[in-house]
Amino acid sequence: MLRTFVGLYLRELGGWIRVAALLELLATAGVSNSSARSAVSRLKGKGLLLPEEREAVAGYRLDPAAVTDLERGDRRIFSYRGQKDDEPWCLVSYSVPEVDRSKRVQLRRALTGLGFGAVTDGLWIAPGHLRAEVEDALEHLDVRERATIFITATPLTAEPFAQTAAKWWDLDTLAARHTEFLHRYELAAPRAESSDPQPRPEPREAFVLWLRCVDDWKMIPYVDPGLPPSALPAGWPGQRSVTLFADLRATYAESARDHVRKVAVGR
C-alpha cells in the first residue's frame, strides 16, 4: 500500500513528504506506524524513497530514477486498453542458451508480468498494443538481439481460438481476480439508475477507499493484457471491472487528492 501511495501522490506533492504526514496518511488507511516504517525501509532499500530533511523537518524524497517506471505504471493501470478482434497480435520468439539460464528465467517472468501467454517455451503472444512494452523489457534485460518480434493477424489454430487462448492464459484465475474486485467495490460505485445528484465523497473516506481500490486493482491490468472477445469465454467479467474502476476513479480520486494535500501541505 505504501508503494501505491507513492505512485499516486508523491509526484503531485513535488516529490517530497514529511515523515509525520506520511505516517498519518497511512494510519488513516489502517497501516500501523511499525508496519509503515518497515515498508519505508524496504522502499529505501530498493531506491524508491530517499531520506531528506527540509528546513530541519524529516521527510522522504522520491528517487528521480523511479519516475520513468511510475509513469509506465500509470499508463498500464489507468489507461487499460482492450484489443478488438480485427487488431493485430504481438508474438515474441526468443532463444536464450542454457549458460544464460537466469536471464531466461527473468525474461519469462517479464513476459508473464506484461500479460503475455506462452504458446511454447520460446514463443509468447499478447495483444499488439504491448509491443513497445515488450521491446523495453527485452532491452532492459539485454536480450533484444536474442528475440524476434512479429506483428501478425489472429493465429490460425486447429480448434476454436478461444479454446486455444485458454491454454495460453490462465483465464479462470484472471476471471476470479476481476470477480473479486467487482464483489469488493461494486457497492461503493455511484448508482447509475439514480436521477438524484451524487454527493461529493468526504475527502478522508474517499482517500481510504481510493487508495485501497488502486492497491487491489493495480496488478490486474498486468496479468490481463486486454484480450479481444474472440479469445474470451462467454460471461467474461473483465469489462465490468474495468468500467467499475473508471467509475470509482471519477467518484473518489479528486476528493482523495484533497485529503492528501490537506495533511501533507495544509491545503
State residue 62 phi and psi, 5-degree precision: -70, 130
71-98 pLDDT per residue, tens: 989 999 998 889 999 999 999 999 998 8
| CA 6 – CA 148 distance, rounded (Å) | 36
Q: Could you tell me if 52 and 118 lie in one domain?
A: no
Q: Could you tell me if 257 and 196 lie in one domain?
A: yes
Q: Average per-residue pLDDT in the chain?
A: 92
- State which of 29, 44, 71 marks the end of a domain: 71
pTM of the model: 0.88
| CA 69 – CA 75 distance, rounded (Å) | 10
178-224 pLDDT per residue, tens: 999 999 999 988 765 555 555 678 999 999 999 999 999 999 999 99
Find the CATH number of the domain harbouring 113: 3.30.70.240
Q: Could you tell me if 259 and 177 lie in one domain?
A: yes
3-state secondary structure of 148: strand
User: Which residue has 472477445 as its cell numbers?
Assistant: 229
> Can you read off the three cell numbers belonging to residue 219?
496488478
Other beta carbons within 10 angstroms of residue 102's beta carbon come to: 9
Find the CATH number of the domain harbouring 64: 1.10.10.10
- State which of 71, 97, 112 marks the end of a domain: 71
CB-based contact 158:89 (threshold 8 Å):
no
Tell me: pLDDT of 32 over 80: yes
Provide the domain count of the chain.
Answer: 3
Residue range(s) defining the domain that contains residue 126: 89-153
Q: Could you tell me if 148 and 110 lie in one domain?
A: yes
